[in-house]
Amino acid sequence: MSKDYYKILGVERNASDDEVKKAYRKLAHQHHPDKQGGDEKKFKEINEAYQVLSSKEKRAQYDQFGTTFDAAAAGGSGGFSGFGGFNPNDFQNWNFQEGFGGNDFGDIFETIFEQFGGGRGRKQESDHRGGDAETEEVLTLEEAFRGVDRVIKFKTHISCLKCGGAGHDAAKGFGTCAKCKGKGEIRVERKTVFGNFSQIAVCDTCRGSGKTPNAICSVCGGKGRVSDMREVKFSIAPGIEDGQILQIRGGGEAGERGARSGDLFVRIRVKPHAVFSREKENLFMKKDIRATDALLGKKIVAKDIGGEEFHYFVPEDFDMSQPLKIRGKGMPKFGSSSRGDLYIQFSIKTPKKLSKKAKELLEELDGEI
């Protein structure tokens, strides 16, 4: 009796490889005989369907010949060919939750398929993308207030100047990849706890192109990158905070053979200031004033973190134990044109020695207030 492998996996005939894989994982997880409610017969049937539909060659034969297609003759063994003859009865006493550290069975399949080229493009990219780099940049509070441009140099892999990062001389042409015979894909087999897995993966020699260059770059040896000093210029916006991390895309290590570069991560350190302390966009400072400055409402002159001079008055009935808030004289808000506030904590400055006249005046004043 013929089997409808698409119906078994619950996918359409035009389903993508990714859709077939996802359907298989879900059903294999659901029907595994060692799980509660599992079905060994159904599990074997699901595996057989996947062995056919996950292979381009077998799927093409199945689509063409239909009921006359013989899975076993095409390289499958019917049932557990993908598991290298795995028998679920071998795991009758296996506790999957304990045996895999509490991981779900579906997560185990996820890990296995990632190793075999599931999501081929993503894995190939991560294999050749340049590594990330990190550094630390120290600023003064004034630099954090204004914003500043920086240039840093560090040793890493940079793109090869001779070949432009390609790793070869494109003018001399290409030949057929000897490893994959021009297909761009190879069959990879690995042994796992479930048995032997076989999966189609991107050829690691030609990276899926099916071709290899006739002339490898003599400077980088085909890597497309060499070890050297790299210079990165970047801007730090006003209002940057201590401990904040900037990500500079493409500022890290160059990738292999034209793959994208890694990123540069810059951790900002803002040095303590002699006058101002900071909390987010607000600044705090201490100010010594004379009692008469406060009592007589005199104009007090000060400078903000940007060096701009401003003046203020102590309001009547002001509680000198509390800080005075000066709006808009703090740090810029990062990524914004607005500024925080400045809080001034007063300390009353008293004279070291009072004259006789001063004492008389103060005694008279003491009776008034």
Q: The domain 277-368 belongs to what CATH superfamily?
A: Urease metallochaperone UreE, N-terminal domain (2.60.260.20)
Integer Cα distance of 128 and 120 in angstroms: 13
Would you call 224 exposed, middle or buried from its count of C-beta atoms within 10 A (0-12, 13-18, 19+)? buried
Pull the structure tokens for residue 114.
């990632």
Long-range contacts of 290-294 (CB under 8 A, 24+ apart): 290/348, 290/349, 291/348, 291/349, 291/350, 294/318, 294/320, 294/346, 294/348
Q: What is the pLDDT of residue 202?
A: 85
Tell me whether domains 130-163+224-271 and 277-368 share a fold: yes
pLDDT for the residue 369: 57
pLDDT digits (tens, 9 = 90+) for 132-163: 999 999 999 999 999 999 999 999 999 999 99
Name residue 41's amino acid. K
Do residues 215 and 169 make contact, with C-beta atoms less than 8 angstroms apart? yes
Instruction: Note the CATH number of domain 5-115.
Output: 1.10.287.110
The list of the chain residues with pLDDT below 70 reads 1-2, 34, 36, 65-127, 191-195, 360-369
pTM for this prediction: 0.56
The single residue listed with the structure tokens 């009758």 is 92
pLDDT at 328: 93
Which CATH architecture best describes the domain 130-163+224-271?
Sandwich (2.60)
Q: What is the pLDDT of residue 206?
A: 83
**Strands 185-192 and 195-202, bridge-based pairing:** antiparallel
**All structural domains of the chain with their residue ranges:** 5-115, 130-163+224-271, 277-368
